[in-house]
Amino acid sequence: MGVIGMTSFARRAERVQPSAIREFLALAGQPGITSFAGGYPDPTLFPMRELHGIYDALLTDGNASALQYTASEGLPELRALVAARLSADGMPCTADDVLITQGGQQGLDLTAKLFVDAGDVIVTERPTFLGALIAFNPCEPDYRSVPMDDEGMDTDALEQVLRTTDRVKLIYTVPDYQNPTGRTMSLARRRRLVELAQEFDVVVLEDTPYRELRYEGERLPTIKSLDTTGRVVHLGSFSKILAPGLRLGWALATPEIREKLALLKLAADTQNGTLNMRAAAAYLGGYDIEGHIAGMLPTYRHQRDLMLASLQEHFPPGITWTRANGGLFTWVTFPAGLDMAAFQRDVLIPQAGVIVVPGTPFFADRPEANHARMSFSGVPDERLVDGVRRMGRLLSQALT
Ligand code: PMP
């Protein structure tokens, strides 16, 4: 029947498995379903009119360069504009230091390919971004996850892991408004992380797609900006500040690392689409992206506040959740016996039409079943409140 025998696959294919999430994400768009699962940015906030004008202008006769190949590292104008924004964020750099990537996701893939051999160890936060695990898995790493609290990754626990584990190659962190917890790493922990990375000679992969979605609290320095030895690979993305469909992100790293990442990118996909890079450069050059970001924040802040207030009002005692100062997520912890995946499948979807992301796949090791990630982005107010209320009622029944 044309099915390839399993023996034909490379060993890494064993680590390429469909995620359980896909099944129920297919439900998310259906009428009558309230989804807190997606974590998509709110599409009403995309700068549609401006991008329409930009693409129109790019695709006029005589402007064929917008459809031509360009450098693997990315369109020079866009690299320069990204470098200017990173410099303003405390990471002085030039266009040459920046690699444009296919979203932040490609930065995760390329960095793992560059540093991780089978059996090497990647340290993650506990829990961590599921998509990073999907990107890292084909490199066949072992994982050690480090507990978090409201100050982010526990650096004492990290030190313990580094002291007792051989072959640690990467420490992966989402320091700002982490996916899935919404937590932010404190300044003291950022400094300690850099010290530990130096002491144990490990590369830090800093992933910051939510950094600019800040609803309260001060802006903390990036880990990259605290590093003096060039061991931090800093990733960012236009997905949450412009639009994810453009598939535009960036990596900032020392020349040696960046050149190798660019060669791996050449192997993977040659370059990002020239048209989208030209469009993003035109947007950054011709419009006020800082104003655009500032204009989005009240919407997300309101949605976050409404989610937190609704959880407080409708969830029964014994359930806790994080309070994110930015980003798109809250992380909910249920009593230890509740298996959220089973509860969602058997109760939440059939009886309430509500979807969340059960927490298990966010653990790099030793998964826990009694958590869920809930996104507050893009759910209309009434649906949000109603969905949390219905979920709360079913949880009250299940937990009594
Ligand atoms: N890192 C984290 C922590 C994310 O949450 C996401 C997207 N949800 C990404 C990276 C990748 O996003 P993109 O490729 O769209 O930039």
Q: What pTM, to 2 d.p., does this model score? A: 0.96
Whether 58 contacts 66, CB under 8 Å? yes
Tell me if 249 CB under 6 Å of ligand 1: yes
Domains with residue ranges and CATH for the chain: 11-46+291-398 (3.90.1150.10), 48-286 (3.40.640.10)
pLDDT tens over the chain, length 400 residues: 456 666 789 999 988 887 767 777 777 778 889 999 988 999 999 999 999 999 999 999 788 999 999 999 999 999 999 999 999 999 999 999 999 999 999 999 999 999 999 999 999 999 999 999 999 999 999 999 999 999 999 999 999 999 999 999 999 999 999 999 999 999 999 999 999 999 999 999 999 999 999 999 999 999 999 999 999 999 999 999 999 999 999 999 999 999 999 999 999 999 999 999 999 999 999 999 999 999 999 999 999 999 999 999 999 999 999 999 999 999 999 999 999 999 999 999 999 999 999 999 999 999 999 999 999 998 999 999 999 999 999 999 999 8
What is the spatial distance between Cα 261 and Cα 338, in angstroms, rounded to a whole number? 43
Start-to-end CA distance of the chain, whole Å, equals 51
- Spell out a b/e string for 338-357, using b for 16 or more CB atoms within 10 Å of the CB, else e: bebbebbeebbbeebbbbbb
Question: Checking DSSP bridges between strand 329-333 and strand 320-321, what pairing results, if any?
Answer: antiparallel
Distance 244 CA to ligand 1 centre (A): 9
Distance 105 CA to ligand 1 centre (A): 6
Tell me if 127 CB under 6 Å of ligand 1: no
Residue 399, judged by CB atoms within 10 A of its CB (0-12, 13-18, 19+), counts as middle
What is the spatial distance between Cα 219 and Cα 326, in angstroms, rounded to a whole number? 11
ipTM of the complex: 0.99
